[in-house]
Structure 1
Amino acid sequence: MKLSATLLSLALVAGVASANNKDKADALFKQGKKLMSEKRYADACEAFEKSNKLDPGIGTQLNIAKCYEEWGKIGRAFLAYQEAEAMAKAAKDSREPKIHELVEGLDSQAPRLTIKLPKDTSTNGLTVTLDGDKVTKFGEPFVIDPGPHTIEYSISGGAKKDRVVPVERGGDSEVTLDIPKGGKPDVIAVVRHDVKADTKPDTKQEVQPPPPGRNMRLGGIVIGGAGVIAIGVSSIMTLSARGKYNDALDAHCGGMKTTCDDEGLTLTHDARSTANTATVIFIAGTAAVAGGVLLYLFAPHGDAAESEEKSARYIVPAVSPDGAGVVFGGNF
């Protein structure tokens, strides 16, 4: 009797815990959907992951994959779609064919990175990490996200070496750890393959990514500087046109706009044309200065990994016959 009561109590506790987990998972799922609609992908993907941990499901797994895909984390999205496909196959879910299409469609875009060791190299005492995660297999490609990745390695507590390896969307990169005799690691040789190229891959070389936002800041300075020069030129043209216009009025128009002779009409017309051109140049210069300032301010800062999501933004000054302005676009 006591045993039955105990089992019943345990069953009730387990049922209550399961219900609580489902309620929390549902709340996290709704939160993830809202955050993803606001393009707050980092928080959205985290919410979906937590929801799936509490109450695993094919639908939640698909939302994890979609969140990473929209965020640009193609490697994680591909792996998440693969997991959803495996879940659908095990459950004989009708969504399996559609999920398989998603996996195949993303396969060619998911970057791969292969870490190799020289032939006959022993792994005894060797510690290798990729973005902080320990690497235990070598010579096999990892599916990873586009962008820079940090590889650190050491032997038997020796000096730690690290390299940043940039990986492109759809790219296939190989990294060989150069471990000479004596067991101390030296450098990393990187071979990058373009999946669309028909030629042989580049020779081995060390690759270091440029500081994030450097080109955007330089572009902002150049565009802004050009805008300042344009404003200066337009100001000079305006002053010159005004002087010529006033001189023509005094010399050929008797100081009145309606009493000009033929030469006065020509001179005042030329002065007005110069003034109109100066106005267009001034507007274009102002747009260039504004675009340069925005370009400089919106350039990503910090390390390359932190600025990966922001680097897709762009700001370009634009001039048309109807006026001038600034084109602002990208991922937000």
Structure 2
Amino acid sequence: MRLRFALPLAAAIGLWSASAFAQPTAEDRAIAQTLFDEGRALMNAGKHAEACPKLEESQRLDPAGGTLLHLGACYEGAGKLASAWSTFHSALSQANKDKRADRADAARERIAALEPKLSKLTIVVPPAVADLTGVQITRNGVKVGAGQFGSAIPVDAGVVKIVAKATGKRAYETEITVGKEPSTPRVEIPALEDEPVSAPATPPPVPNQQPTSDTETAPNDGGPQRAAGIALGSIGLAAGIVGGVFGGLALMKQGEAEDHCNEQNLCSQEGLDIQEEGVLFGNIATAGLAAGGALFGTGLIVFLTAPSDEGATTTAAVSPNGFRLIHRW
């Protein structure tokens, strides 16, 4: 017959079942023997809480039927009767495999002595809860399988925390205290409440802020406009200089042409050629001076009408009497 043990006893069972397939090394055996000797000495001194971890590690490193018997006795001395009961069952199974009748008799004796002292916890899970999507029942953080629902499972004395969860449901939690005297506590899992549906978060309204000169409107100090005015004025000045140079050349050509003409203003071919050059230079001079004056004047207006961060402004005005620049501070 297969036995069902409480999940708080999983550590004790795992020490026997998982390690049964491991092949300990010589170093493992040496460490296990040392821990076994220390654990047994602590037990003899009545220090079961310190002895049990030593024996647990010894069994994990080098599984042995004798260690299981001592570990069961250690749990019993520490008041963990359910853990002791399950460990003696493991020791009985190992003794039967090893054909150690003496150990098997010792294990049966302790099992029989502990049976009436056990507290057994029953967790009742109604079908409406058991059938929920993602349902999970835990006892002290360890999952309780569906096969344990409704069964009286041996548990050690102390606080037992039971939690029930399911998808889309509020978690149910409860705690019970199992005393040292034998008892049969029962916990029924109620119908789980639905999780509240959270409304989508509404972003806070954006305040209607008026733009301020310090935050949203950068002050315009007229820098780019002044730069454009300077550029136009510079081009106009350069054009005026070119016009002046060609104007001077035109006057020189006029003087040279007079040397090749008589009093009746009849000129030789060379004089006529010089006159043509003078006319060309004069036309270039006129165009250069006219364009230079226009560009220079435009650049001056652009420069002077640029806004100022100090509040000074310059405006241009055209009237019947002419062109005026008005500067205000």
TM-score where L is the length of structure 2:
0.48
User: Which structure exhibits the higher relative contact order, with contacts defined as CA atoms closer than 8 Å and separated by 6 or more residues?
Assistant: 2
TM-score where L is the length of structure 1:
0.48
